[in-house]
Amino acid sequence: MKKRLLLISNSTNYGEEYLEWPRPYIKDFLEKTGVKRALFVPYAGVALSDEGIEASFDAYEERVNNVFNEMGFEIYSLHREKDPQQAIKDALAIIVGGGNTFHLVYMLHELKLMKVIREAVENGLPFIGWSAGANLACPTMRTTNDMPIIEPESLNCLGLVNFQINPHYLDAPIEGHGGETREQRLEEFMVINNNVYVVGLREGTLLSINDDNIELMGKRPMRLFRYDQDPREFQPGSSIGFLI
């Protein structure tokens, strides 16, 4: 079965409506699969309600479903399912929202879902993830930007791709900020993990993966890192199949 993934850097560009910029890509991706109803994983959304984490998941489901309804699709949330493992096995597509990657990974390990999701996607289940959801597709979450608000059983993720993604990648240092740049942080990762490519995925861009084909989409280039090599820039439409 072909592996089909849409790995999105961010849900919303500054000044836009929620999920505005990636809507055409999401719509096209789902239409090609023929799927109208998809399973949503809300566990990265921990602070979307003042009434506790379950209410936050409810709010996240509603927010995403409103957008998907406008595109002609429907989502239903994993947090409402009595048997999460069976829900994954029965799903026609899976969508993983952004937020805090540590909590997302914590929950999927806690519910013993990592292997179930990986096997389902490897067997053809379409996968869409933005921000933390894009991190989740990587071998590990160690290139996330998020605060460790909870300790997962492991930092290992789905390993649906064999490279790492840094979503929301920023080049420029922040004015008045004396800490490390994003590139310096990724260089630290590569010193310890020196055989892994890291994709700096800028906002407003995504990776579309169809089996052994991969394409950068959006209006901005991506920055590719590898230990002991100068970073390289790739424009949308460039040949990046070597990452697969």
The answer to whether the beta carbons of residues 57 and 77 sit under 8 Å apart is yes
Catalytic residue among 77, 146, 154, 171: 146
In the annotation, is 103 catalytic? no
In the annotation, is 131 catalytic? yes
Q: How far apart are CA 175 and CA 200, in angstroms?
A: 20
- The bridge status of strand 164-167 relative to strand 74-77 is unpaired
Catalytic residue among 49, 109, 168, 208: 168
- The overall longest dimension of the chain from CA atoms, in Å, is 50
In the annotation, is 146 catalytic? yes
Q: How far apart are CA 27 and CA 71, in angstroms?
A: 6
Catalytic residue among 103, 131, 212, 230: 131
Strands (E) located in the chain: 4-8, 37-41, 74-77, 94-96, 127-130, 164-167, 198-201, 205-210, 213-218, 222-225, 232-234
List the catalytic residues. Answer: 131, 146, 168
